[in-house]
A and B are shown apart, each in its own frame.
Chain A
Amino acid sequence: MRHGKYPFVIGFLFAPVALYVTFVIWPYAQAFQISMTNWRGLSAPQWVGFDNYRRLLDDGAFWKAVQHHGVLLLALPLITIAIALFFSFLLNVGGRSSGGQRQGVWGAKFYRVVFFFPQVLAVAIIAVLFQMVYRPNESGLINGVLMKFGLEPILFLIKPNLALWSILAVLVWQAVGFYVVLFSAGMASIPGEIYEAAEMDGATKVTLFFRVTLPLLWDTLQVAWVYLGIAAFDCFAIVAVLSVDGGGPDGATTVLAMEIYRNAFVYSKYGYASAMGVALFFLTLTFAALTLRLTKRESVEY
């Protein structure tokens, strides 16, 4: 790979980089600049230095949002990956094994198709859907059943300590199918002989899972963790559409994206909103850097 390398490299990189810089990097750079002003979105901005950042420190809503990202960052990947791993193991290895040929449980194909459904739907649509599912009275999908049995309705989105988890459940609902497919693919690429050998040694399904599947799936798990971590930093559409009063009650479900949106498009405080955006950016960057560091390792060869 020697001849004419640079013209080729430049030729291939020019269009993507130009497009990317124009529509992504340049607007973001401007956003950093705006975060140092008191721009209200309309007239010329005035430079205020780090004032907006100083104000962030006293902003209760901001800290609530940061805290929620912390919860989501831990809970979303953990729950989603645990459920998805369990299902994909069942679907791929859970069934009878005949002559070392691993088989999924009966109907595995059907489940894999069905579980993936939510993934093809837009988040905005899912949020509208779950508004109905969670409705706090007899017209809700869940509470309708509960109240038929004479039980008290569950106030999913209203109880401050339940609301965030209700939203998290929707995120998990949507994500599981994708990761089932992802992990299934990973499991399918684990050579059958390994299972065969293990089963000859008398390993139970549980042992198989913990000693064979899990370690060999480590790479895929990390990919999953990165995706879900990034998803945990967004959550705007779901919170904006699903939660009570845009991140409520009283900020119990708010996320940074929601606060940025509120400050920018409701209060017209573009400068302050941008400062929040910059803070969010550094949080995500820290997460990405940590993850990249942790994933930078040799892969298992088999």
Chain B
Amino acid sequence: MHEPLYKTAFPKAEVKHQATQAVSTVLQPRFASGNPPEFVNNSGEKFLDFGALVNDGQLQDLTELWDAPSVDDPSKKVRDTIIPGVVEQGMFSTADGQRKPFVLYYVSTVYGIWYSGKLFKDNGWTAPTNFEQFKALCEQIKTKGITPYGYAGANAAYYQWNVILSQAAKIGGPDVLKNIDNLEDGAWKQDAVKQAAEAWAEIGAKYSDKSFEGLKHTDVQLRQNQGKVAFYPSGDWLENEQKKDTPAGFTYQLMPVPSLTASDKLPATAIRAAGGEGYFVSSKSKNPRGGMEYMRQMLSKAGARGFTETVGAATVVPAGSEGFQFPPGVASAQAALKAAGKDVFNMLFDNWYKELDTEARTATNELMFGRINADAFVERVQKRADAIKKDSSVIKFKR
């Protein structure tokens, strides 16, 4: 959608913009051949391994972009017009150990657990803030013949490890996740992770449906829209994704993962938030500067506003969201983000180490559908983390 803006600014320039869901399948050969597209939205189900791309010098250093003057106010740098932490999130260490910004995470993303405001209002339920309330509510929901909680095992198990690790962060503080990202020894075996895994394994066993392991995320999401599932974990893109299938009055609402106990390090309002949708410019493409200029247009107020208006999601450019009437779901996510204040955490290991992401997904399904317990869960993911740490062909990242 930003192409018109870019075209207005640079009528003769041509930027190859690749939009596809199966990014790695389609693009891998092009990177290998030295003919990559300028501008890539590297997200979706099969995204390219950022680590490998950085390691191979395929990504354009975006320092120039961040220091360039903003489109709207030339006295400001682009980096000062966006949500803090986003530049940092897109920084990777190169092979020679330098940390540089390579990736623009464009969409403001808040993660949590979704429910239908209408369903809850009709039944007089309120969003739980701690686990006791959560489990009690799940019992009530169950008696209504509704599946209390569910995620799609077939392709969206990462929505669930996100919940487990968010829980762990609340129990033990954001450093729990930092240790995991940094591949610290025994990071997955931290008490907080184990407790979180135990708590959620119980939810999986008592309040979910075994058949969800075989469903794709769209299937489970549709079931939530049909009122058959009460809670569903995902990011705040969900409302827009489901627009077509959401019945009128459904009113998506997002809540943070409930606190496990009163002794949790972070408050109940703490939430995971980050930039989502990683865009990058290929340094070996024909026109990397064109790609960066395209990004600068995206980060203008008009660009961000256009994006927000088209997809109904907030970007990392606050100016673009100002005064925008968000739909109820995104509005509730923005409200939750505001309520969290400084208690915002994030994790990056899945972008850094695809293998670890895969293992965490598999282990999460094993845990949530009752084939292994929490001890075995942390054991096996730790084992893979150790193997990655030892593998010299894998570039390591730190934060």
Contacts and interface: CB of A to CB of B under 8 A. Distances in A.
Assess A/B contact in the complex (Cβ within 8 A).
yes
Interface of A: 38, 40-43, 134-137, 153, 155-158, 160, 244-245, 248-251, 262, 265-269, 271
A262 B56 contact: no
A268 B369 CA distance: 30
Nearest to B47: A266
B153 A265 contact: no
Given A265-B24, A268-B52, 7 more contacts: A155-B210, A158-B213, A245-B365, A249-B153, A249-B213, A266-B49, A269-B393
Contacts, number: 91
Nearest to A249: B365
Nearest to B34: A42
A177 to B, nearest CB: 27
Interface in B23-39: 24-25, 28, 31-32
A244 B56 contact: no
A43 to B, nearest CB: 4
Interface in B246-295: none
Given A245-B157, A249-B366, A134 B56 contact: no
B28 A250 contact: no
Interface of B: 24-25, 28, 31-32, 46, 48-49, 52-53, 55-58, 153-155, 157, 209-215, 219, 354-355, 358, 361-362, 365-366, 369, 371, 393
B235 to A, nearest CB: 20
A271 B80 CA distance: 42
Contacts of B219: 135
A40 B214 contact: no
A156 B212 CA distance: 12
B284 to A, nearest CB: 10
A126 B394 CA distance: 37
16 contacts: A40-B393, A41-B31, A42-B31, A43-B55, A43-B57, A135-B215, A136-B214, A155-B211, A155-B214, A158-B213, A158-B369, A244-B365, A248-B365, A249-B362, A249-B366, A266-B49
A245 B55 contact: no
B26 to A, nearest CB: 10
Nearest to A272: B393
Contacts of B214: 134-136, 155-158, 244
Contacts of A250: 362, 365-366, 371
A268 B213 contact: no
A162 to B, nearest CB: 11
A266 B358 CA distance: 9
Contacts of B57: 43
A266 B46 contact: yes
A43 B56 contact: yes
A154 to B, nearest CB: 10
A245 B361 contact: yes
A267 B391 CA distance: 13
Contacts of A157: 214
Contacts of B55: 40, 42-43
- The binding surface of chain B is classed by DSSP as helix
Given A41-B52, A245-B362, A155 B213 contact: yes
A206 B361 CA distance: 52
- The binding surface of chain A is classed by DSSP as loop
B32 A245 contact: no
A265 B365 contact: no
B213 to A, nearest CB: 5
B393 A38 contact: yes
Nearest to B36: A42
Contacts of A156: 214
A266 B356 CA distance: 12
Q: Which 4 A-B pairs have the closest CB atoms?
A: A136-B211, A42-B56, A136-B214, A43-B56
A153 B209 CA distance: 11
Contacts of B155: 245
A267 B213 contact: no
Nearest to A248: B362
A266 B48 CA distance: 7
A266 B213 contact: no
Contacts of B215: 135-137
A242 B158 CA distance: 19
Given A43-B56, A245-B155, A245-B157, A158 B393 contact: no
Most buried by A among B49, B209, B369: B49
Contacts of B371: 160, 249-250
Given A266-B358, A268-B49, A41 B211 contact: no
B160 to A, nearest CB: 12
A153 B371 CA distance: 19
Nearest to B31: A42
Contact of A245 (B28, B31, B56, B154): B154
Contacts of A262: 358
Nearest to B32: A41
Nearest to B212: A136
Contacts of A271: 393
A267 B354 contact: yes
B81 to A, nearest CB: 33
A65 to B, nearest CB: 14
A83 B361 CA distance: 38
B32 A266 contact: no
Contacts of A136: 210-215
A40 B393 CA distance: 8
A100 to B, nearest CB: 54
Contacts of A268: 28, 48-49, 52
A265 B47 CA distance: 10
B211 A137 contact: yes
Contacts of B355: 267
B314 to A, nearest CB: 30
A41 B49 CA distance: 11
B193 to A, nearest CB: 19
A63 to B, nearest CB: 16
Contacts of B56: 40, 42-43
Given A43-B56, A249-B366, A244 B24 contact: no
A41 B46 CA distance: 16
A41 B55 CA distance: 11
Contacts of B48: 268
A8 B43 CA distance: 56
Nearest to B213: A158
Contacts of A245: 153-155, 157, 361-362, 365
